[in-house]
């Protein structure tokens, strides 16, 4: 007999679910599937959290499956699917804030929350390392916090925000040159300082002239990987297709790093001019600035700069009266370190969970919405107007032969003057600590430094005189994105590893098993070492996990989680053995 399907009753037509906050958000943002994250963010701002009704209404409004909407809502740390008591205080417990006294602040906040009825949420690094211990209070930056000033933090006190208007002795400023000279809220001050002059001149030349200048300069990606821009950009320029994109990666979520925030908030028109030059060079007509969700001030400032630049004719249709058009939009992330990985960022821009794609194909040919896309970070793009204006020889006059130009470093921890500086590539760790950071804090001496951010290396005194550039990792010292955390003898290596591995475990997207399980298992081992209750084979297991993470993880998050572990074994093996013998 032929197989017969059982008879079923016809399902009645279901009316679309409705929610007033969703309706308003969809009217503002649009109903294309890639607008899901902005819609959910708008709804949460209006309602405080994302109810089941709101998620269902969003699914219907954007014509998406419920599972997709729920998957996005539960993926990003800044989205809440359960009601939260306002105000919501997200206290950073990244390595820099832990070093600055975060546990005492947390205890005071939780005590105040019990009496005052607000929410305290544990969160990864907020990119406010120069204000540690730091927090977001209903999304607004606050810090440095002390145990006795938490009440002020809940009363519209934003804390103290460092200024970078004046260069430090020993700095060589190029990217940071206009900080303090321009008002980032007033385009007229930027125009008076030369903003968009390079773009105007470049539009009189062929796009290839910009490509040639970038290639000759030897500019390398400043997000950490150091891939040569002169090799990446021509791939996008040569790719076929009616639509191309330039995406600025401003999802700066690496603990101990906040350099891009300073550029976004201090000189946004330098970035926008760099993006426009890049778009002209590769043939793109649309751009996105993907700003991490924790950077509310940065996002607002760039949005305002975009409006002002468009009003002045430097963005939008037929720039400077010519044929080149380039429109830019800010996209706010919602809390996910993994979105710093370029393909995860593109997934997020398209309205999905920020999970890395399998490559190839690469974004240069199949990027945003399947179109050729140039993805570069803030610091990289900000270099472009300077290179096109002054020439490749000028750029190469500083730095090293293989790593030309200047680099922004962020120095935090047990130093006298933490903060951000700009120096030529090839500057040593000793010069950064003893010179630009004013030396170690009173009464302490150098023990170790985490170089390159969380996805970096833990090094001791032997590394102090290694020139930092894109080749220094061969000598065991990662430069990465430029984040440096300096520590004295009060910090144990296992404590630092515990902070880092909690971060990696918490920020793993979960897509691949090696990273999802490996970061957790490594963190459990280090927790035992910290607590003085290790197992016999813990050190060997930790080494094996590091090898597994590095060789089998899908993307850079899991792979780089091995680097601090391996460098700790290379430079502090005696201390690790002592912890294992406790």
pLDDT tens track of the chain, all 582 residues? 444 445 555 555 678 898 999 999 999 999 999 999 999 999 999 999 999 999 999 999 999 999 999 999 999 999 999 999 988 999 999 999 999 999 999 999 999 888 888 899 989 999 999 999 999 999 999 999 988 888 877 777 788 889 999 999 999 999 999 999 999 999 999 999 999 999 999 999 999 999 999 999 999 999 888 899 999 999 999 999 899 999 999 999 999 999 999 999 999 999 999 999 999 999 999 999 999 999 999 999 999 999 999 999 999 999 999 999 999 999 999 999 999 999 999 999 999 999 999 999 999 999 999 999 999 999 999 999 999 999 999 999 999 999 999 999 999 999 999 999 999 999 999 999 999 999 999 999 999 999 999 999 999 999 999 999 999 999 999 999 999 999 999 999 999 999 999 999 999 999 999 999 999 999 999 999 999 999 999 999 999 999 999 999 999 889 999 999 999 999 999 999 999 997
Domain annotation covers residue 480: yes
List CB contacts of 14: < 8 A, sequence separation 6 or more.
none
CA-CA distance, 514 to 493, in Å (whole number)?
Answer: 24
Looking at the 3D structure of the chain, how many domains does it have?
Answer: 5
If asked whether residues 259 and 286 sit together in one domain, one would say yes
Domain annotation covers residue 177: no
Backbone angles phi, psi at 546, to 5 degrees: -60, -45
If asked whether residues 43 and 28 sit together in one domain, one would say yes
Domain annotation covers residue 303: yes
Q: Per the structure block, which two tokens stand in for 516?
A: 């999802």
If asked whether residues 203 and 338 sit together in one domain, one would say yes
Output the DSSP codes for 529-571.
HHHT---TTHHHHHHHHHHHHHHH-SSHHHHHTHHHHHHHHHH
Q: Per the structure block, which two tokens stand in for 50?
A: 């994302």
pLDDT for 7: 54
If asked whether residues 254 and 373 sit together in one domain, one would say yes
If asked whether residues 382 and 410 sit together in one domain, one would say no
Beginning with the edge strand found earlier in the chain, give each strand of the sheet holding 446-451 in spatial order: 419-424, 406-413, 483-488, 446-451, 457-459
If asked whether residues 299 and 369 sit together in one domain, one would say yes
Output the DSSP codes for 150-193.
HHHHTTT--B------SPPTT---STTTTBTTB-TT-HHHHHHT
Which among 363, 378, 396 is the end of a domain? 396
Domain annotation covers residue 173: no
If asked whether residues 483 and 505 sit together in one domain, one would say no
Q: How far is CA 164 from CA 263, 471, 484, in A?
A: 10, 28, 18
Q: Per the structure block, which two tokens stand in for 377?
A: 């970070």
List CB contacts of 183: < 8 A, sequence separation 6 or more.
189, 190
If asked whether residues 216 and 344 sit together in one domain, one would say yes
CA-CA distance, 197 to 181, in Å (whole number)?
Answer: 17
CA-CA distance, 345 to 339, in Å (whole number)?
Answer: 4
Which among 30, 47, 73 is the end of a domain? 73
Domain annotation covers residue 121: yes
pTM: 0.95
If asked whether residues 149 and 192 sit together in one domain, one would say no
The β-bridge partners of 413 are 486
CA-CA distance, 490 to 91, in Å (whole number)?
Answer: 23
If asked whether residues 479 and 426 sit together in one domain, one would say yes
In terms of residue numbers, what domain contains 410?
Answer: 406-488
């Amino acid at each position: 007999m032929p197989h017969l399907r059982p008879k079923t009753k016809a399902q009645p037509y279901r009316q679309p679910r409705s929610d007033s906050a969703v309706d308003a958000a969809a009217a503002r943002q649009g109903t294309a599937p890639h607008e899901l994250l902005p819609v959910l963010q708008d709804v949460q701002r209006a309602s405080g959290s994302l109810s089941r009704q709101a998620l269902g209404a969003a699914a219907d409004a954007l014509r998406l499956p419920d599972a997709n909407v729920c998957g996005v809502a539960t993926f990003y740390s800044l989205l809440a699917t359960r009601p939260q008591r306002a105000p919501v205080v997200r206290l950073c417990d990244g390595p820099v804030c832990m070093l600055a006294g975060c546990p005492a602040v947390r205890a005071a906040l939780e005590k105040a929350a019990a009496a005052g009825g607000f929410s305290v949420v544990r969160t990864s690094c907020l990119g406010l390392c120069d204000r540690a211990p730091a927090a977001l209070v209903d999304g607004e930056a606050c810090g440095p916090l002390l145990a006795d000033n938490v009440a002020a933090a809940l009363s519209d006190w934003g804390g103290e925000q460092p200024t970078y208007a004046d260069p430090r002795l020993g700095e060589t400023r190029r990217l940071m040159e206009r900080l303090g000279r321009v008002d980032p809220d007033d385009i007229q001050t930027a125009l008076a300082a030369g903003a968009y002059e390079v773009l105007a001149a470049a539009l009189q030349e062929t796009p290839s002239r910009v490509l040639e200048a970038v290639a000759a300069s030897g500019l390398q990606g400043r997000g950490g990987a150091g891939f040569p821009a002169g090799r990446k950009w021509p791939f996008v320029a040569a790719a076929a297709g009616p639509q191309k994109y330039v995406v600025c990666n401003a999802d700066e979520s690496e603990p101990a790093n906040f350099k891009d925030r300073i550029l976004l908030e201090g000189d946004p028109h330098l970035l926008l001019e760099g993006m426009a030059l890049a778009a002209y060079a590769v043939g793109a007509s649309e751009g996105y600035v993907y700003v991490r969700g924790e950077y509310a001030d940065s996002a607002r400032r760039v949005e305002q700069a975009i409006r002002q630049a468009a009003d002045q004719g430097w963005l939008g249709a037929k720039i400077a009266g010519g044929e080149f058009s380039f429109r830019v939009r800010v996209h706010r992330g919602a809390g996910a370190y993994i979105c710093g990985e370029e393909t995860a960022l593109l997934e997020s821009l398209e309205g999905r969970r920020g999970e890395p794609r399998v490559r190839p194909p690469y974004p240069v040919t199949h990027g945003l919405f399947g179109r050729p896309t140039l993805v570069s970070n803030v610091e990289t793009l900000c270099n472009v107007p300077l290179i096109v204006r002054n020439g490749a020889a000028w750029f190469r006059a500083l730095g090293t032969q293989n790593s030309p130009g200047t680099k922004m470093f962020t120095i935090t921890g047990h130093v006298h003057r933490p903060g951000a500086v700009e120096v030529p590539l090839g500057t040593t760790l000793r010069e950064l600590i003893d010179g630009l950071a004013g030396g170690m804090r009173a009464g302490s001496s150098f023990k170790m430094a985490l170089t390159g951010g969380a996805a970096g290396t833990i090094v001791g005194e032997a590394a102090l005189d290694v020139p930092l550039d894109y080749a220094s990792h061969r000598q065991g010292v990662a430069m990465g994105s430029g984040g440096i955390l300096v520590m004295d003898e009060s910090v144990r290596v296992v404590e630092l590893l515990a902070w880092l591995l909690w971060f990696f475990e918490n920020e793993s997207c979960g897509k691949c098993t090696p990273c999802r399980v490996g970061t957790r298992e490594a963190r459990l081992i280090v927790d035992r070492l910290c607590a003085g209750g290790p197992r016999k084979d813990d050190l060997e297991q930790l080494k094996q996990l590091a090898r597994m993470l590095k060789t089998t993880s899908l993307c850079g998050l899991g792979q780089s989680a091995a680097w601090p572990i391996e460098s700790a074994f290379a430079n502090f093996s005696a201390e690790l053995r002592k912890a294992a013998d406790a």
